[in-house]
Chain A
Amino acid sequence: MSAIPYAATEVPEVLVQRQTRSGRIAMTLAVLAMIGVAAMPWWASTGTIRSVLVLCCYIAVAQMWNLLAGYAGLVSVGQHAFMGAAGYALFVLAQTYGINPFVAVFLSLLVPTALAVPIYLLLHRLDGPYFSIGTWVVAEVFRLTASNLPLVNSGAGMSLRVMKDYSAFERNVAMSLLCAGMLLVTLGGSYWLLRSRFGLALIAMRDNPVAAASQGVNVVKLRFLIYVASAVGCGLAGAIYFMAQLRITPGSAFDPMWANVAIFIVMVGGIGSIEGVLIGSLIFFIADRWFGEYGATYFVVLGLMTLMVALYARTGIWGLISKRWDAPWFPIRRKLVDPKH
């Protein structure tokens, strides 16, 4: 046997390009928007702050659903379980035990974290679509438990009366900072995650879980971590939302409406992208303001739009845009550039 001629190959010199001009522009705008949200008490009315808070909650919940469904392949229709759990935890800690509500917001996140672990260990045994309905059952269990639990005043619900100890301005400052923090954690955190090594693993997993596993991605562990992270993110949104509402009942805390919102936003905006979540959230927010008064008809249209997107345009609006213009707002690709050119 003759030796196979072996040509010494050198690794070609390349630069890894990870940022684009569109990305830099978008990043600047995002930072400015974040500062704008944090500084709301100095430029916006209380009504505007409340509207922005709702929009921020849509964005956060939708992005958490996007991480689950768009990357981990876990389609949940019960993320509102964690919103309500954290909301209730906040009310119990602040109202019943007298902890400062702005500290309690963060402490309340322990509850969705602690609940998400056993729930995932149970539900991951269910196959594909059955997992989804399982998440819904869990949310129902939470709602029925809250309705029967004297600690949270059973079906009558709770009010956050301790908030009256703070002036309107103080509350506005806290809400604005919390909103900015929530955006930073959910959107900024996701962007950081997707650009990291885990991001590569996540994208590989999204494209093909079996192939990703064969390349050394620990799919099982990654799915578990994403599920818990998403539960915490939804919990944060829930705690902030119900702090602004000042009232929580089992029906409002575990409202399946949030599953509709998240699915509509992500599917119409574009699954598997942060840009899609932003586009979808804005569309939903505006549609809700303009057409919310039409009630049932409005929801028929929302439902049919979700159906149409699933049938004909699975990549959503951002998918259609990015097919035509290659200008990502939040670039996560690694592009190899020859430095000699």
Chain B
Amino acid sequence: MEWFDALVQGILLGGMYAQYALGMALMFGVMRIVNISHGDLVILLSLIGISIATAWGLGPLPVLIVLVPLAVLMGWVLQKAVLNRVVGSDPLPSLIATFGLSIALQNLMLQIWSANSRSLPGHGIESQSIEIGGIYIGLLPLIVLAVATGLTWGLDLTLKRTRFGRALRAASADVEAAAMTGINPRAVYAMATAAAVGILGFAAVFQALRSTVAPADGPAQLIYAFEAVIIGGMGTVWGAFAGSMVLGISQAIGFRIDPGFGVLAGHIVFLIVLATRPQGLFGKALS
């Protein structure tokens, strides 16, 4: 029963990680870029959300409604001002640029919000739970999981069914060929990053509701997102989702074994997957 409980908690935790991982999978799939400031953007959005909530006395839902468009705008600006200049086959420029951005963001947040941990007041939603078969499940983690599933489903459908999705997939397969068929890669890239950071807007609200955020927390979120993407297998949105579940379950079981072992257990599962199945659990092997 105790282990089953850990499993359930792990899946719920995975819902949180999926919200970080989707954006990273999307950006890497389309541009072959990893944004090192990915986690710092989550924290920045969380802190902005907390400040908005305290200044205007808003509940979580209105904060979400304000924050997601803001995140989309941030992603668009990030692409226009920084990433469009560094996208290319050489990974160095994009890594260095976003690395510098990450250091600057972390310390800027430290200046503005100080090193204190903060959280978003949920007006009771964070402490409610429902009982299913002897296990108490927090209402908030359940909502997080549901939203993560919805986002994954929505992103998958967008990629498969819409004109924008087709343009994205074409650009990720071959930029030059896509450009020949009339797709503007820069515009596609800007929309992809806007969507990726927009999803982080959801993640930011839920992260701040579920636990606390502090300016130095970003790199940990980046690493979880990355591990989820690699465990699940690159190239598929549902792979990133499944990888998040595996990571969440590994951490939850690790925490149950020893509180000092939780995060390490996630890393170890990541390394085992890398050693035994480098294409990820649900990825296709490279020919």
Which residues of A come within 8 Å of B, CB atoms?
Answer: 69, 73, 75, 77, 122-123, 125-134, 136-137, 140-141, 144-145, 147-148, 256, 260, 263, 267, 271, 295-297, 299-300, 302-311, 314
Contact of A263 among B99, B219, B226, B234 (CB under 8 A): B99
If A75-B91, A299-B104 touch, whether A311 touches B97 (CB-CB below 8 Å) is yes
- Which chain A positions have C-beta within 8 A of B268? 141
Q: Which of A136, A302, A307 is the most central at the interface, judged by chain B CB atoms within 10 Å of its CB? A: A307
Q: Which of B151-159, B172-180, B257-265 is near enough to bind chain A?
A: B257-265
Q: Is the Cβ of A77 less than 8 Å from the Cβ of B34?
A: no
Q: Is the Cβ of B82 less than 8 Å from the Cβ of A129?
A: no
Chain B, range 78-102, C-beta contacts under 8 Å to A:
82, 85-86, 90-97, 99-102
CB nearest to B38 among chain A residues: A133
Q: How far is the CA of A133 from the CA of B223 in the complex (A)?
A: 7
- Which chain B positions have C-beta within 8 A of A310? 86, 93-94, 96-97, 100
With an 8 A cutoff between CB atoms, is B105 at the interface? yes
Q: Across the A-B interface, how many residue pairs have beta carbons closer than 8 Å?
A: 135
Q: Is the Cβ of A140 less than 8 Å from the Cβ of B223?
A: yes
Which residues of B come within 8 Å of A, CB atoms?
Answer: 28, 32-34, 36, 82, 85-86, 90-97, 99-108, 110-111, 219, 222-223, 226-227, 230, 234, 258, 260-261, 263-264, 267-268, 270-271, 274-275, 278
Q: Which of A73, A128, A263 is the most central at the interface, judged by chain B CB atoms within 10 Å of its CB? A: A128
Contact of B222 among A133, A148, A300 (CB under 8 A): A133
- Which chain A positions have C-beta within 8 A of B94? 129, 310
Q: Is the Cβ of B226 less than 8 Å from the Cβ of A133?
A: yes
Q: Is the Cβ of A126 less than 8 Å from the Cβ of B274?
A: yes
Q: Is the Cβ of B99 less than 8 Å from the Cβ of A148?
A: no
Q: How far is the CA of A18 from the CA of B177 in the complex (A)?
A: 45
If A122-B271, A129-B28, A133-B226 touch, whether A307 touches B97 (CB-CB below 8 Å) is yes
Q: Is the Cβ of B32 less than 8 Å from the Cβ of A129?
A: yes
Q: How far is the CA of A133 from the CA of B234 in the complex (A)?
A: 15
Q: Is the Cβ of B34 less than 8 Å from the Cβ of A260?
A: no
Q: How far is the CA of A149 from the CA of B92 in the complex (A)?
A: 35
Q: Is the Cβ of B96 less than 8 Å from the Cβ of A129?
A: no
- Which chain A positions have C-beta within 8 A of B219? 136, 256
User: Which 5 pairs from chain A and chain B are nearest by CB?
Assistant: A303-B104, A306-B100, A303-B103, A307-B100, A128-B91
Q: Is the Cβ of B104 less than 8 Å from the Cβ of A307?
A: yes
Q: Is the Cβ of B34 less than 8 Å from the Cβ of A130?
A: yes
A-B contact pairs, 8 of them (CB 8 A): A69-B92, A75-B95, A77-B99, A126-B274, A127-B32, A132-B36, A137-B227, A299-B103
Q: How far is the CA of A77 from the CA of B98 in the complex (A)?
A: 12
CB nearest to A128 among chain B residues: B91
- Which chain B positions have C-beta within 8 A of A299? 103-104, 106-107
Q: How far is the CA of A256 from the CA of B97 in the complex (A)?
A: 17
SS class, residues of chain B in contact with chain A: helix
Taking the nearest CB of chain B, how far is it from the CB of A95, in angstroms? Answer: 23
Q: How far is the CA of A128 from the CA of B33 in the complex (A)?
A: 9
Q: Is the Cβ of A311 less than 8 Å from the Cβ of B85?
A: yes
Q: Is the Cβ of B96 less than 8 Å from the Cβ of A136?
A: no
If A77-B99, A126-B274, A311-B97 touch, whether A300 touches B260 (CB-CB below 8 Å) is no
Taking the nearest CB of chain B, how far is it from the CB of A90, in angstroms? Answer: 24
- Which chain B positions have C-beta within 8 A of A123? 274
- Which chain A positions have C-beta within 8 A of B230? 126, 130, 134
- Which chain A positions have C-beta within 8 A of B99? 77, 263, 306
CB nearest to B267 among chain A residues: A141
Q: How far is the CA of A267 from the CA of B226 in the complex (A)?
A: 25
If A75-B91, A300-B104, A304-B100 touch, whether A133 touches B34 (CB-CB below 8 Å) is yes
- Which chain A positions have C-beta within 8 A of B96? 75, 263, 267, 306-307, 309-310
- Which chain B positions have C-beta within 8 A of A127? 32, 234
Q: How far is the CA of A262 from the CA of B152 in the complex (A)?
A: 38
If A133-B222, A311-B82 touch, whether A145 touches B264 (CB-CB below 8 Å) is yes
- Which chain A positions have C-beta within 8 A of B97? 306-307, 310-311
Q: Is the Cβ of A296 less than 8 Å from the Cβ of B267?
A: no
Q: Which of A129, A140, A306 is the most central at the interface, judged by chain B CB atoms within 10 Å of its CB? A: A129
Taking the nearest CB of chain B, how far is it from the CB of A69, in angstroms? Answer: 6
